Amino acid sequence: MSDTKFQIEQKIVYPSQGVGKITDIFEKNFRGATMLYYKIYVEASDMVVMVPVDRAEELGIRPIVSAEEAQRALDLLSDEFEPITSDWKLRYQMNLDLLKKGSIADIASIVRCLYNRSKVKELPILERKLYDSAKKLLEDEISFAMGISEKEVSSMIHAKLEPPGSVPKVKHVIEDEEDEDDNLMDDMGDSPRNRQDSDDDEDDSDESDAGDFEGDDF
């Protein structure tokens, strides 16, 4: 399998799922055609994902970043950033799009945005879940990249978000008439961890070529 981008036993990042390990690369018949698949084990959710090799890049699967890039993501947490809208639904969708893109800088941006917003007003339920998911993803990758424990990474993240004597880094909040939890589930649907690859599913009930999942869902 030397012609594949990733190799067996290699650690990778699967956007919105976290750090995983390639446990196998195998052929599988799909609708009469033989396709090559990665079998990925995601430890955080105890889940196995099967992804076509030729779709891995499209789905955002990538190597774990270097220790230097992980440090840059940590440093980004203490940067100032653009004003945040108080429209939580718009804010949620913007951050959800970043989560799907899946770069470590995108994940750090979500954590920074929602942490500082939470200092202004308590986050709605979906945003709180999104913040917790993004923070976990960030902790996992930085832990692997730097070779340190998740507990150490969590302390480093907190120190970057809220150094002693600091104030929230957001410049100001763009006020909107609505920032309540009314009709919370009407527009947003499922949590981000239950939406992976939904756009790639076909109407056929048999299998999907976007990535098959085994084990417990997030």
Q: Note the pLDDT tens digit of each residue in 99-143.
A: 998 899 999 999 999 999 998 889 999 999 999 999 999 999 999
pLDDT value at position 181?
46
CA distances from 23 to 28, 64, 128, 140 (A): 15, 16, 32, 19
Rounded average pLDDT over 191-214: 43
Burial 148-176 (b: 16+ CB within 10 A, else e): eeeeebbebbeebbbeeeeebbbeebeee
Look at 198 and 214; give whichever has higher pLDDT.
214
Burial 119-147 (b: 16+ CB within 10 A, else e): eeeebbebbeebbebbbbbbbbbbbbbbe
The 10s digit of each residue's pLDDT in 31-84 is: 888 999 999 999 888 999 999 999 999 999 999 999 999 999 999 999 887 777
Q: How confident is the model at residue 211 (pLDDT cuts 50, 70, 90)?
A: low
pLDDT value at position 107?
96
Residue 196 pLDDT exceeds 70: no
The 10s digit of each residue's pLDDT in 77-91 is: 998 877 778 889 999
Residue 197 pLDDT exceeds 90: no
| Cβ-contact 181, 187 below 8 angstroms | no
**Closest by alpha carbon to 95, among 54, 67, 134?**
134
